[in-house]
Structure 1
């Protein structure tokens, strides 16, 4: 399981690599480039699933096991 993801801000394109929480969803993220507050896109559980190059740990786990469980359920 990968625990880091590079988020790309859809407003300014700034990229930041961060460690994802394993015990909670991250619903908000402050862009370090333009200070925009990122929120998940409709249908996504967290900012990492919407803007990251690696989905959050619960989604990675569900995909690995073939489960249809959603993140943070």
Structure 2
């Protein structure tokens, strides 16, 4: 059974600065301030969080095939 990766390298699309971030398992991260240029990163259209848009690893719910955290289905 694959394990969930909680660390992702976020790459700023404006300046290219890469930061190593730990992803939460219980929520999405919709905003991230770049430490390099101070740009406010937001998800690309269709993505649920900044990790799915700019990270080296998708967010934990997507990794676990639960779908996007903002689009989870109600039973």
TM-score by length of 1: 0.89
- Normalising by structure 2, we get a TM-score of 0.86
Unaligned runs of 5+ in 2: none
The runs of 5 or more residues in structure 1 that have no matched partner are 63-68
Query: Counterpart of 2:10 in 1: which secondary structure?
Result: strand
Are residues 1:35 and 2:18 paired? no
Deviations 1:28-64 (A, max 9, x none): 00000000000000000000000000000000000xx
Q: Distance in 1 between matches of 2:48 and 2:64?
A: 14
User: RMSD value over aligned CA atoms?
Assistant: 0.7
1:70 partnered with 2:70: no
Q: Per the alignment, in what secondary structure is the counterpart of residue 10 of structure 1?
A: coil
